[in-house]
A and B are shown apart, each in its own frame.
Chain A
């Protein structure tokens, strides 16, 4: 079988990985190809801070909470392995701050050592009256994506730098299944009014004395529209913007100023941090992740597509759970086509 994955961000690469892991010994031959116009370090996943944390509440999307947990547990299992550094995985603790009391977040039982903030801790953050402390994971895209690509390349997965204009285009070249991991630009392959950009601008700074992430939450301005400071392995990501509907991939000095002023108020020591660069990315925001099969009619043939896009600001957080689910959907197709172990000739 030939599988064509469109998209080489964390979703595309991890889905290719899951499909390989589950089916390379069942389906023979299994050819996996990844098509994308942008590869690491130029994808959305690369610019993200790489902090594992879902939105505070899943609004009933319990599937997503399950996928988030699978991803956390999966990454955690690599922590003690020699590969953790090459994967860009490490633990980091920090603070989620609110200006009012709020229900416990969806991830409270997934992360490590989750607890309420003490009075003394709240005193460290004037203006915030409630919040939580926990230990979570970092998975840095700029390291994780190259690791995934090498993992896939070693196993014969091929990469093609190309902009795919339609599913039909790939089907015509002989792809049996197409995995659509095109994130923000899925709309170009198939219009989706639910998919919108959540523009984020961040400032990367050198502030190695910071060892905790600090996320603030403002329930009236919406997710990621409140300052956050996330130290990484080399630089600290400072942000706090999520502009729904804004397609501008350029940095603006207006946003830079707002982000910087808010962050310095939250963490006065940032005043002395060396600013390295700004970056802008478009979060592929959707009411919920689109993870489903679609059989697209094209003349007499049926094109089997598995959609896996719309992960908003939690792509790295949810990637493994979604990849495994996509692989499961792939398995259904394998069964249907009679290519599985129960293949009848």
Chain B
């Protein structure tokens, strides 16, 4: 079979994960990872990377469960191995707390994380504003380490990496047989999807090495995530906000809210501040389509719009994208294969 040329556009956690899945599973494909930004300059790099899911309204629950489980199991194996520190993947235990008891007491991903249970009365005493909570062990995947580690795996599987800015899929149509679009927020212009929009998030990286547990408010706006070298505290959820610069008002608000949950943070030192735009969408777009470009119709596999759940769903959606690429290969006209 002729060597099939695949390009994966976007080198955040979704792009790199998808590229690795394809390169490792389909050795007869020549895979290129193409992006304008690579780690440490992607949105994924600033994310705390705690595995945590949310429910999307229109995707079958079984598929969402599978996405979470596949990613969790993949990363757990890394966390348990000697690669853990280099890959930036570690186990993290902690609590998700709620001011009001949620309608769904047990989330759909409860079985996928480790040791899930409800918090005891004693444990809730530390959080006087909160009435209910989950206690469990999940994973933290730090992309500033994980992406370079994964990219290495991609190169070992024969992948090529290219740094380039493209403004339309047209620019790629002559060089590649299949396009895999993992351009996150960039899909707005790259493929004209106005349904993907930014949800601005600001975080602080703090030095507070005595903190060993994550604490997250169920509303998703206030969280403390101890990592390998710093503690990520946040955050904000500002829809349709494109500002990439740090907002000191947000800094103060974050410190105030997080210190309320964890008073010892007042002894912590702020090391840095960062802003990222979550590539949000009503549902992530993981599907294939045939796109009419000048000269021919090119199969495009989309894998974008994961919002704040990129790290959480990366491997699972990458596997789905791989399956879609396989389908594209099967559907490609016979002539192209000679």
Q: Are B228 and A208 in contact (CB under 8 A)?
A: yes
Contacts of A222 in B (CB 8 A): none
Question: Is B209 in contact with A113, judged by CB distance below 8 angstroms?
Answer: no
Q: Does B11 interact with chain A (Cβ within 8 Å)?
A: no
Q: Is the CB of B82 within 8 A of A271?
A: yes
Of the listed stretches B30-38, B193-201, B260-268, B294-302, name the one at the interface; the rest are far from the partner chain.
B260-268
Which residues 110-142 of B have a CB within 8 angstroms of A?
114-115, 117, 119-120, 122-123, 126, 135, 137
Q: Judge whether B123 and A135 touch: CB under 8 Å.
A: yes
Q: Across the interface, which residues of A come within 8 angstroms of B79, CB to CB?
A: 269
| Binary CB contact string for chain A from 106 to 120 against chain B (1 if under 8 A, 0 otherwise) | 000000110101101
Contact B85 A115 (CB under 8 A): no
The minimal Cβ–Cβ distance linking B69 to chain A, given in whole angstroms, is 12
Residues of chain A contacted by B292 (CB below 8 angstroms): none
Determine the chain A residues whose CB is within 8 A of the CB of B266 once the complex forms.
82
A234 cross-chain contacts in B, Cβ below 8 A: 209
Contact of B123 with A113 in the complex, beta carbons under 8 Å: yes
B264: which A residues are within 8 A, CB to CB? Answer: 79, 84-85, 90
Q: What is the minimal beta-carbon distance from B216 to any residue of chain A, in angstroms?
A: 15
**Bound form: Cα–Cα A115–B117 in Å:** 10
A92-B212, A211-B212 given; A112·B93 CB < 8 A: no
Shortest Cβ distance from residue B195 to the other chain A in the assembled complex, whole angstroms: 37
The size class of the interface chain A forms with chain B is 35 or more
Which residues of A230-279 are within 8 A (CB) of B?
231, 233-234, 268-269, 271-273
* Distance between Cα atoms of A234 and B210 in the complex (Å): 8
Let me know if A158 is at the binding interface, CB within 8 A.
Answer: no
Count of chain A to chain B residue pairs whose CB atoms are closer than 8 Å in the complex: 90
Fill in one digit per residue for A33-66: 1 if any B CB lies within 8 Å of its CB, else 0: 0000000000000000000000000000000000
CA A86 – CA B84 in complex, angstroms? 31
B-facing residues in A86-135 (Cβ within 8 Å): 86, 88, 90-93, 112-113, 115, 117-118, 120-121, 124, 133, 135
Q: Are B80 and A112 in touch, CB under 8 angstroms?
A: no
A212 touches B81 (CB 8 A): no
**Docked complex Cα distance between A118 and B110 (Å):** 13
Query: Which residues on the A side are within 8 Å of B226 (C-beta)?
Result: 211
Distance in angstroms between the alpha carbons of A300 and B233 in the assembled complex: 67
Which residues of A, 67-87, contact B by the 8 Å Cβ criterion?
79-82, 84-86
Which of A86, A212, A233, A269 is close to B209, meaning CB atoms less than 8 Å apart?
A233
The docked-state distance in angstroms from the alpha carbon of A84 to that of B211 is 11
In contact, B86 and A210 (Cβ under 8 angstroms): no
Q: Which among A133, A231, A268 is the interface contact of B212 at CB below 8 angstroms?
A: A231
- 11 further contact pairs, Cβ within 8 A, besides A79-B264, A90-B211, A92-B212: A81-B263, A85-B264, A113-B122, A113-B135, A115-B117, A117-B115, A208-B229, A209-B228, A211-B90, A211-B93, A231-B212
Nearest first, the 5 A-B pairs at minimum CB distance are A269-B84, A90-B210, A209-B90, A85-B267, A233-B210
Sample of 23 A–B contacts (CB below 8 Å): A79-B264, A81-B263, A82-B267, A84-B263, A90-B210, A90-B211, A93-B93, A93-B213, A113-B135, A115-B115, A115-B117, A118-B114, A208-B228, A209-B85, A211-B90, A212-B212, A233-B209, A234-B209, A268-B80, A268-B81, A269-B82, A269-B84, A272-B85
Interface positions of B (Cβ within 8 A of A): 79-86, 90-93, 114-115, 117, 119-120, 122-123, 126, 135, 137, 209-213, 226, 228-229, 263-264, 266-267
